[in-house]
Every structure is written in C-alpha cells, then in structure tokens.
Amino acid sequence: MAKPVELHVNDRKIRLDTESERSLLSVLRDDLDLTGCKYGCGEGQCGACTVLIDGKATRSCITSLGDCAGKSITTIEGISRGGHLHPLQKAFMDAGAMQCGYCTTGMIMSGCALLAKNQTPTNKEIARAMEGNICRCGTYSRIVQAIHQAVDSMKGAGK
Amino acid sequence: MNTPTTNTGLMTPEIELERYELFEDLPYEFALDRRDFCKVLGGGIVVCLLLGSESLAQQPPRRPGGRGPAGPQEIGAWLHIDEKGTITVYTGKVEVGQNVRTALSQVVAEELRVPASTITMVMADTDRTPFDAGTFGSQSMPNMAPQLRRVAAAARDVLLDLAAEQAKVERDQLTVAGGKVTHAGSKRSFSFGDLTQGKKLTKAVRADVRTTPASEWKIAGTSVPKLHAASIVTGKHRYTTDLKRPGMLYGKVLRPAAFNATLASVKLKDAEAIHGVTVVRDGEFIGVAAASEHAAEQALAKIQAEWKTTPQPSDKEIFEYLKKNRAEGGGGFGGRGNFESGSMEKGLAAADHKLQATYTIAYIAHVPLEPRAAVAEWNDGKLTVWTGTQRPFGVRSDLARTFNVPAEKVRVIVPDTGSGYGGKHSGETAIEAARLAKAAGKPVKLVWTREEEFTWAYFRPAGVIDVNAGVRNDGLLTAWEFHNYNSGGSSIRPLYEIPNQKIAFHSARSPLRQGSYRALAATANTFARESHIDDLAHTVKFDPLEFRLKNLKDARLRAVLEAAAKHFGWGKTKPGDGHGFGIAGGFEKGSYVATCAEVAMKKGGPIQVVRLVTAFECGAIVNPDHLKNQVEGAVVMGLGGALFEAIRFENGKIQNASFKHYRVPRFSDVPAMETVLLDRKDLPSAGAGETPIIAVAPAIGNAIFQASGVRLRSMPMAPNGIKG
C-alpha cells in the first residue's frame, strides 16, 4: 500500500496516508478541506490552484503529493494571521480586484511569491510574474492596482 | 419565442432574449418516483410582489413544442423582516461575478434606508426563492431591480403603518432611517424587529407604491464594495466545486470519441470489479462514482468503449457550410431580425459609391474559470442539486423531466458561481451527478475537466455576414443590406438613418452545439456594421467619427461616441508612425457603448493594442465601481474574441480543448484602458454585463485599417497573437 507522506501545510505538520501520485491540489482540497485553491484546468496553465511550496508559487494541480514530501506548503488559508488579512487580501478587496472571485486566491498566492522576491514591482514585472494566472472576468488592471496598493501598505507597516 | 415586456414606458427598444437559449432535448432519460415538499418562512413581515397585468417579470422561455415551464408564477419577488429586524430578500437571480448580489442589496437598502451590508440575499434556491427564468439577457437590472425596489418600498410602507398605529401619530410625522422608524416630535423610535411584534404579516405590493427616484438615491448609485469579498479573498467562499456532503463520492462520465458518435461496444467489467466503485450504464450514459477523484479517474480508465463516428465539417469550411446548410426559422422572433424599408435598388442607384463585403466570426468558448460542476444528493426520493447554472429553475425542470419526478421534489441551489458569460444556461453536470448519485445511493460531486468544459459545453455561434451598402459623396448613407447567417439577430439593425434597408437573419444547421454568450450576436453584427461603416467613411474621405454623427440621430449613441472620442483625444492628435486610431459604437439590450482604440503595428510584426477608451451608458448607474469593473472586464474579454480566440474542430472533435491551445487574454494583453460612464438618472437602469463587449473588435479593426490600410473582416482578426 501507499507509503505515508509527511509535509507541512500552513505551518502544521501533516501525515497523509494516500496514493503519492495524487495531485497536491486534490489532497489539499478533498483530504484537508483547504478549498481555497481551485481546479481551473489541471494542466498548470491558469494558476487558480497556485500555492506556495517552500515559498515558490507552484501549480498544485500538476504537482504530485509525493513530490511535496518534507516540504512546506502555504495555501490561501495560511496567509492571514491572527485574524488579520494579509495586505494583498486587503488590497484586492479595496481595489475591487475581482468579479466571480474564482481566480482570486491563485492571484493572491502568485502575488505573495512575487512580493517576496520583489518589493517594488513595476507594471511590467507584475504582468510577467502573473502571466500564468488567468482572470477570465478580465480584472487584470485592478489586480495590478491591488498589488501596488499592497506594496504601499506593506511599506507603511514597515516604518 | 416571446418578447419581454418593458417596464419603462420610455424609449427602451425591444430587448432580444437569446435566440440561442438552449432548447435541446435532454441527453438522457431516466425514471424516478414522487414525494411532497413544503416551504416555511418564520414570523415577521413578508412582502410579496404579485405579478399581474402590470407584470415586471420576464417570461420564462418556452420550449418549442410546448414543453418546459408552465408559465410565470404569481410571485415575482419577496422580502422578509423578522422579529430581530433582519431583512432577507429572496430572488431567483444568480451571482456569477457580475455583482448582482451587491446591486440588488443596494436597491433594497435604498428603499428601507439601511446599509446595503445589512441585507441578507437568498439567491437562486428553487425551494426558497420565487420562480425566475434565469440570469441572462441583461435582465436583472431592468426587471429584478424594479421588482425588489417596489417590494422594499412596500415593506417600508408597512413599517410606517405599524409605527403610526403604535405611536398613535400620523404617518407623515414618521421617518425611516438606520433600521428604525422615528417620530421626530416625541423622539420615540421603533426598530424594524419591534414593529413586527411577533406577528406574521403578509402583504402584497400596492400598485401605487412610491419608490425613490434615482435623483434622490443615497445607497443605490454609490460604489458599495462587493458583499462577500472577504470570503473570496480568504478562500472561504464555497463554490459548487468546493462543496462536500457526508459520504460524498466523486463522479466521472465517459465521453464519446466525437460529437454525434454512437456507442458500438463497451466493456465495464474491469471497472465494476474495483471495490467501492459504482459503474452506471443507462443507454448512452456511462459514468462512475468512487470515494476519491483519483479512484474515479482510474475506474473510468478501465472502461473500454468503441464509438462509431461520422465525418463532420471542420473549421476550415465552416463559413461555406453555414451558408449552404440553412435551417428552418430564419428571422424568428416574430420576424425580428428581418426588416425592410424603402428599396435597395433605389438606394444603390442614388449612391456615388457601393461597397460589398463579407465578414465572418468563429465559434468561441466561454471558458468560465470554474468549470461546470454539480453535487447531487437523493434523500427519500427528493433530489437536491448544488450547481453553477444561470437557470436554476430551468435546470430544476430538466432534472424533474429527466428523472420523472414532480418539480417540487427537486431542489436546485446555486452557490455564487465562478462565472458564466452566458455559458451556464444548461444543467449537464446536474443531470449526470444526479444519475450517478441515484445509482450509488450516496451524494456525488461531478466537476468537468477543462477539456470537457471546452468540448461538451456549447459555443458562441459562428457566423457569416454579407453587407452591401451605398453612400453619397456628401457622406449620407443611401442603402444598407445586411444578411447574418447563423450567428444571430441581436443588434442586427443599424441605428444610423438609412432610407433604404434590407436586414435578414438566416438560421443554419450548426455542426457544433451553440448557445448564449455575453452579448451574443451583437458582437458579430456590430463588428460587421462598424467595420463597414468605417470603410464607407474612408471611401468618401470623411473622418470616421464625423461620418457616423452625420448619419446618426439617436442621442444616446451620439453621446457615447462623443464621450469616447473626447476622452481619447479623437481629432486632437494624430497617430504616430505605425500607429492607428479606430472608433466604433453600438447599442444592445438597453445600453449604449462606444470604443476608441489605438494600435501599433511594426512592419511584418504583430499587432499591439496600445489603448482602449470606452464610453458606456446604461441609464441610472446603481454601482459606479462595479459598473466600471464590468465594462473593463467585457473589454478585456472582447480583446480575446477580437484578436485570437477561435475554436478549432474537425470531424466532431475539438482540436484546441486546453488553455495551452486556446488562448484567452492574459495580463500582458491588457492595454491602457479608460472607462467613461455616463450616468442618466432620468432613465431606468439597464443591464451592463454584456453590451460593453460589442465595440471592441470593430474599434481595433478600424485602427488596424488606419495604421496599415488592411481591412480585417474575420473575427478573430489576428489568431496568431498580438504580443509585441
């Protein structure tokens, strides 16, 4: 039978006794009830399933559970701390950067990874970093605006 | 087909509901038995809108052959104020990202003088909300909003009556604010909840109920933030795809090898042998349910099926095919779509220049990011299905018919859904999940894969449009003949003043399943019309804006054209080297749009859209920021259809059923955008989710023509992409 896989999800150590070839997305959603990451395409093309693996934005739909052994996974459920929204979450709300919202969590996770590497991204850098995330409702310019607003609020908080 | 009555008495022309509303026979027929059900509301005040001769409701679409919903039910909307003062609104509309939840809350909040966030909206639950034909055709604002406004105003009247009685004062000495009714003289106030005093009062809306005019709005008309936005950014909102039920299994359905394929043989044994897997074969339906998605996929892979396929047309010959393969019912809608005035012969004879051209439009996919999904559960013969559809009551009827149970024994609930764009009118996943759940005796969740969504949903119709027109050297149009084959009749008639016209829609036998789409054929018809008008303007050496205005009396279309031009700087600046400017405008479903585009073209290189300015007018604006968001979104979606989106198909197979091969707009495709909103508080609010898409393609095409002298007459115009 399957060998148990151990990983850290949102800073909690988790041991999973299931087929290691299953997608991380399915395990997060169906086994751990972390449904903030979404199925959009299953081919790593739309970004709705984005989570952070050791800080890197990763498409969980094309990542197998086995490949995550021992790694640290952060999902949208793990970024707001102590009842406070992450600055990006707040900025997406303030900028009205969503319509149906199905892409939103993936956008925020990709945004988190971007801001961890680049604290002052230009519009072009944002577009490049986020090109793998689709918003079919077309709120792209608002998402860019939200990322800038998050940058501003994080700078403010850092003072 | 029926025509919705307009409630405005103003200048709203006929609104065409989707010609391509899906009225197909159901794919499967199953059998089940009956059971009763009932609806319960607690104490407090209930206000209902009874639909009578002054009906504000859209009629339910009827199916050809007389099947389908049995006509409008008498209650159009209702509102409940309980003993705690909680205000709950019940509406059959669905939230698919257009922010109708927020907008409808605002109109209710306006009449009850409370913050919009205090309104609880119960939406799209067939056991709890009044019948509604569906969320499509830009009907929520022109139809549902006035109903709810009247219901809420009537509830305010009831509260005032109760307070007047309790305080023993005249009603006109009372004011409603902040969830209370206050008597200024005595400073006594009564909370909404206290006024109900544990009663159960049911009132119908009086014909003379007074609603608040847009000029006095304080909550409606403002940018109230999206309700539930916090649940979306935290990932807490449960879309259909996120739902779980106790003991729930995961379903998968075996798909034919091609459209119209029939099952030649199938071996189920290997799948059936797997422990815990339910395999269902019912006619042509073959599906599995298992404890995990992975297990269901594995079981499905064990099924060996052979399909008999037939040769079918491909995208390469589709346009000739549509013109050759005409279907019954051209024109349709009581002749709407067909129009004739004057004489084309005379009109062309009076022209100094004649111009004939053919335009084509490809099939495209809606590509909602949340694919079709359903969770189905049977309990004691009652079926409950959670599914993302724009027609919950239509899907309920489909389920009742498919499983041969009364509609009361079927409940359809639509969680706020991951978009639709006209693509979720049908209930395939609901039927499939329900069939699997029935066999498994457990709840079943079925989520279509992206490939299934691209293949087995339906498409915006492809079409061919032939235009023949005449123009005089002084810039006046003399003749206009316009034939649309298959793509549809929305917005087929020009608003330009042309004395001699012949307009016709011709149905065709579409090789692909086709249906509604954001703005539907208005995009194709506006593309052909506004490209052709641009050509005519250049032919007689007129500025394209001036040419349009010379032939146009319609004040609302003129206003958006002038507003877009002004903000774009039309006529003030000249395009730089290799750049071009284009303008286009149009009308659809009660609202008006104009778009100005700037493109940049390098020699032999790709086309880059540099800038888009859109002016939009849809009557009184209910929520400016959400309206702007809708316009921006429609424009971005329009970029895809204008430039690169097209479904490729051959022999009943979709050739590009993935995001890798079907390109949708992404971050780098988005140009600089400006949105100009014209607020007409003197006009009723029209819908806004659709019309802003229609002028994008012709504006870009016209800009390409100015930059290069090349006229692109096929959508998509640059299928190989526009990245510079």
Confidence of residue B602 (pLDDT cuts 50, 70, 90): confident
A94 and A71 within one domain: no
Verify that A100 and A74 share a domain, yes or no.
no
Three-state secondary structure call for residue B566: helix
Find, in chain B, the residue whose alpha carbon is nearest to that of A131: B667
- DSSP for A63-78 reads SBGGGGTT-EEE-GGG
A42 and A20 part of one domain: yes
Residue B238 structure tokens: 């449960």
Given this model, what pLDDT does residue B215 score?
A: 97
Dist. CA A61–CA B320, nearest whole Å: 41
Are the Cβ atoms of B658 and A41 closer than 8 angstroms? yes
Residue ranges of alpha helices (H) inside B472-573 are: 521-539, 544-550, 555-568
Tell me the two tokens of residue B541: 């050496």
pLDDT at B41: 59
Contacts of A127 in chain B (CB under 8 A): 667-668, 670
Provide the mean pLDDT of chain B: 89
Chain A residue closest to B226 (CA)?
A96
Calculate mean pLDDT across residues B190-219. 88
Contact status, residue B363 vs residue B662, Cβ threshold 8 Å: no
Residue of A nearest to B237 (CA): A36
Percent share of chain B, pLDDT over 70: 88
**Claim to verify: residue A50 and residue A69 sit in the same structural domain:** yes
Would you state the structure tokens that stand for residue B465, as one six-digit string? 């449009």
Residue B418 with chain A: CB contacts under 8 Å: 38, 100-102
CA nearest B98 in A: which residue?
A99
Single out the residue of B112, B141, B102, B125 nearest to residue B12, CA to CA.
B141
Q: What is the pLDDT of residue B305?
A: 97
Q: Report which residue type is found at B97.
A: G
Instruction: Report chain B's terminal Cα–Cα distance, integer Å.
Output: 46
CATH number of the B240-310+372-447 domain:
3.30.365.10
User: Of residues B89 and B38, which shows the higher confidence score?
Assistant: B89
Which of A78, A98, A128 is the C-terminal boundary of a domain?
Answer: A78
Structure tokens at B248: 């729930």
| Nearest CA distance, B226 vs chain A (angstrom) | 7
The CA-CA-CA angle for residues B123, B124, B130, to 5°, reads: 90
User: How far apart (Å, rounded) are the C-alpha atoms in residues B638 and B644?
Assistant: 10
Which residues of chain B have a CB within 8 Å of the CB of A36?
A: 234-236
A140: nearest CB among B226, B293, B667: B667
Question: What's the Cα-to-Cα distance from B645 to each of B255, B472, B585, B605, B703, rounded to whole Å?
Answer: 24, 37, 22, 19, 19
Is residue A20 domain-shared with residue A45, that is, in the same domain?
Answer: yes
Pairwise CB contact (< 8 Å): A38 & B233: no
CATH of the domain at A139: 1.10.150.120
Token couple for B450? 């992206």
Lowest model confidence (mean pLDDT) among A145-159, B683-697, B704-718: A145-159
> Which residue range forms the structural domain that includes residue A48?
5-78
Q: How far is A158 from chain B (nearest CA, A)?
A: 23
* Ranges of CATH 3.30.365.10 domains, chain B: 44-233, 240-310+372-447, 318-364+459-715
CATH of B318-364+459-715, one of 3.20.20.140, 3.40.1710.10, 3.30.365.10, 3.40.190.80: 3.30.365.10
Query: A99 is written with which tokens?
Result: 């319509």
- pLDDT for B18 beyond 50: no
- On whether any CB of chain A is under 8 Å from the CB of B237, the answer is yes
**What is the amino acid identity at position B167?**
A
Same domain? A11 vs A63: yes
Q: Which of A78, A111, A130 is the last residue of a domain?
A: A78
Q: Does B97 lie at the interface with A, CB-CB under 8 angstroms? A: yes
Take residue B225 and report the two structure tokens written for it: 């933030």
CB B570 within 8 A of CB B539: no
Tell me: ipTM over 0.85. Answer: yes
pLDDT value at residue A5: 95
On whether both A116 and A74 belong to a single domain, the answer is no
On the CB side of A85, CA atoms within 13 Å amount to 20
* Per-residue pLDDT reduced to its tens digit, B386-422: 999 999 999 999 999 999 999 999 999 999 999 999 9
Q: Under CATH, to which class is B44-233 assigned? A: alpha beta
**Are B690 and B635 a contacting pair, CB within 8 Å?**
no
**Residues A9, A71 share a domain:** yes
Distance, in angstroms, between B450 CA and closest chain A CA?
A: 5
pLDDT in tens, B100-137: 999 999 999 999 999 999 999 999 999 999 888 888 88
Q: Are residues A74 and A125 in the same domain?
A: no
B579: Cβ contacts below 8 Å, ≥ 6 apart? B598, B599, B600, B601, B610, B707
Residue A41: count other Cβ atoms within 10 Å of its Cβ: 26
Q: Do strands B87-91 and B119-123 pair parallel, antiparallel, or not at all (unpaired)?
A: parallel
Angle in degrees, CA B248, B253, B258, rounded to 5: 165
Beta bridge partners of A16: A5
CB B603 within 8 A of CB B88: no
Percent of chain A scoring above 70 in pLDDT: 97
Q: Spell out a b/e string for B56-66, using b for 16 or more CB atoms within 10 Å of the CB, else e.
A: bbbbbbbbeee
Mutate to test the interface with A, among B369, B389, B629 (most CBs of A within 10 A): B369
Residue numbers in A near B667 (CB within 8 A): 126-127, 130-131, 133, 140, 143-144
pLDDT at residue B142 tops 50: yes
Reported as a pLDDT band with limits 50, 70 and 90, residue B494 is: very high
- Strand partners of residue B81: B45, B87
Is A99 in the same domain as A73? no
Q: What are phi and psi of B61, to 5 degrees?
A: -65, 140
Residue A127 per-residue DSSP state: H
- Identify all chain A residues contacting B368, using CB atoms and an 8 Å cutoff: 100, 102, 136
pLDDT of residue B446 exceeding 80, the answer is yes
The SS3 of residue B615 is: strand
CB B377 within 8 A of CB B530: no
**Which residues in B lie closer than 8 A to residue A75 (C-beta atoms)?**
235
Using H for helix, E for strand and C for coil, what is the string for B256-321?
CCCCCCEEEEEECHHHHCCCCCEEEEECCEEEEEECCHHHHHHHHHCCEEEEECCCCCCCCCHHHH
| CB contact B415 to A (< 8 Å) | no
Strands across the sheet containing A12-16: A12-16, A5-9, A72-74, A50-53, A56-59
Q: What is the pLDDT of residue B21?
A: 45
Q: Compute chain A's Rg from CA coordinates.
A: 16
Nearest CA in chain A to B673: A141
All residues of chain A having their beta carbon less than 8 Å from the beta carbon of residue B665 are: 138, 140
The answer to whether B241 contacts A39, with C-beta atoms less than 8 Å apart, is yes
Distance from C-alpha of B164 to C-alpha of B172, rounded to nearest angstrom: 9
Among A28, A58, A78, the domain-final residue is A78
User: A44 and A94: one domain?
Assistant: no
For the residues B145-158, what does the mean pLDDT come to?
92
Task: Give yes or no for a contact between B247 and B185, defined as CB atoms under 8 angstroms apart.
Answer: no
Which is it for strands B44-50 and B75-81: parallel, antiparallel or unpaired? antiparallel
For chain A, what is the total number of helices (H) and then of strands (E)?
A: 5, 5
d(C-alpha B339, C-alpha B337), whole Å: 6
B345: how many CB neighbours lie within 10 A of its CB? Answer: 10
**What pLDDT sits at residue B253?**
98
Nearest to A139 among B229, B629, B659 (CB): B629
Q: How far is B358 from chain A (nearest CA, A)?
A: 30
Answer yes or no: are the C-beta atoms of B167 and B44 closer than 8 Å: no
Q: Do A94 and A62 sit in the same domain of this protein?
A: no
Q: How far is CA B452 from the centre of its chain?
A: 21
Verify whether the Cβ–Cβ distance A98 to B232 is below 8 Å: yes
Tally of domains in chain A: 2
- Report the CATH number that the domain containing residue A13 is assigned in CATH: 3.10.20.30
B444 touches chain A (CB under 8 A): no
Q: Residue B193 pLDDT > 60, yes or no?
A: yes
Q: Which residues of B touch A41 (CB under 8 A)?
A: 450, 658-659
pLDDT in tens, B616-654: 999 999 999 999 999 999 999 999 999 999 999 999 999
Is residue B8 over pLDDT 60?
A: no
Better pLDDT: B451 or B11? B451
Instruction: Give the nearest partner residue to B667 out of A48, A90, A127, using CB atoms.
Output: A127
Task: Give this prediction's pTM.
Answer: 0.93
Alpha-carbon dihedral sign for residues B152, B156, B162, B165? negative
Contact A140 B626 (CB under 8 A): no
Contact (CB<8Å) B369/A138: no
Place of tokens 């970024």: A79
Q: Is B232 in Cβ contact with A99 (below 8 Å)?
A: no
Interface membership of B689 toward A (CB under 8 Å):
no
Q: Containing H/E element for B253? A: strand B249-253
Measured between beta carbons, which residues in chain B are less than 8 angstroms from residue A137?
97, 369, 419, 633, 637
